[in-house]
Amino acid sequence: MAKSQLTTYGGQAVIEGVMMRGGQSVAIAMRAPDGEIAIHTETLGGLYRSRWAKVPFVRGLVILWDALSLGMRALTISANLQTTEEEEKLEGRALTFTLLTSIAFAIGLFGLLPAAAGHATGAWLGAAPWLTNLAEGLARLVILIAYIWGIGRMEEIKRVYRYHGAEHKTINAFEAGAELTPENVAKFPLEHPRCGTAFLLTVVVFSIILFSLLGPMPSLLARFGTRLLLLPFLASIAYEYLRFTANHIQHPLIRILVKPNLALQRLTTAEPDAPMLEVAIRAFQEMRQGEQALEPKSP
């Protein structure tokens, strides 16, 4: 299979499971409370198969939408599977409230807080605009790494990180042409160049470069507003960068460039056990079956 086709495969760890996404189909495999593997499959919307999903510097926005919508839906499905009859499932108003709260928290932590740090640097220290913008970017990077490390201390998140490792190992094994068995998949690396963690780090690093070139901001609101408006542009650039480096990972210079991305993944992945690998493999196989079923039949 060509590399251009391989780049359509991706995934995400969910609660006690893994989501695998192809170009047309998505599958979620989850370890249910009774120990069995529960499967959820669906066909991706037309957006993923539209011509816009193939246009450079536009397809990155599709990936961003994917992370925000499909990822949250997969997490909700996996969370609801783990609830008992006495517990309330995430749906309706409870789900809407949870989503809005999560989005507001992310905007505040990774957007408003670093912007405030940059604004304060200029207001209190009288620093040059490029220096205040640089301080904002570095604050955003520190907050991102500290947040990833901090939540990784929680037992529930540790298990999610292990499923994240299982997802990476499974995709690495498939791309290497190995038979997908827990024994084989366990031998492959935890890191993958197209990881969502790498995407986040790339967006932040590119934002440091771009925002440092901007002029002075008259107010905190103006600073924060420009960051939000430029986010789609940064996401597009970051996606194209990851796609290029993943397709040329064998080049010595590319291997050097991707080292920070791979290093950060050490904070969001951990060694999975055999049952976790079994779940990740099942998710990938179900996704592949969905892809094949949607392929045009030869006349």
Per-residue pLDDT of the chain (299 residues; tens, 9 = 90+): 334 444 468 899 999 999 999 888 999 999 999 999 999 999 987 777 778 778 888 888 877 777 778 889 999 999 999 987 667 787 888 888 888 898 899 889 999 999 998 888 876 777 788 888 888 999 999 999 999 999 999 999 999 999 999 999 999 999 999 999 999 999 999 999 889 899 999 999 999 999 988 888 888 899 999 999 998 999 899 999 998 998 899 999 999 999 999 999 999 999 999 999 999 999 999 999 999 888 766 55
Q: How far is the CA of 73 from the CAs of 79, 94, 157, 251, 286, in angstroms?
A: 10, 14, 18, 37, 18
The secondary structure element, H or E, covering residue 11 is strand 10-14
- DSSP code of 53? G
pLDDT, position 51: 81
pTM, rounded to two decimals: 0.89
pLDDT, position 149: 95
Q: Residue 99 is encoded by which pair of tokens?
A: 């989503």
pLDDT, position 70: 87
Q: How many Å apart are CA 68 and CA 288, to the nearest integer? A: 23
pLDDT, position 95: 80
Q: Give buried/exposed letters for 55-77 (b at 16+ CB in 10 A, else e).
A: eeeebbbbbbebbeebbebbbbb
pLDDT, position 8: 66
Half-sphere exposure of 72 (CA within 13 A, CB side): 17
Half-sphere exposure of 284 (CA within 13 A, CB side): 28
Q: What region, left, alpha or beta, does residue 35 occupy, with left being phi > 0 and alpha being psi -120 to 50 degrees?
A: left
Of 13, 58, 2, residue with least CA distance to 192: 13
Within 23-85, strands assigned E span 25-31, 37-43
Of 200, 172, 198, residue with least CA distance to 185: 172
Q: Residue 201 is encoded by which pair of tokens?
A: 């780090």
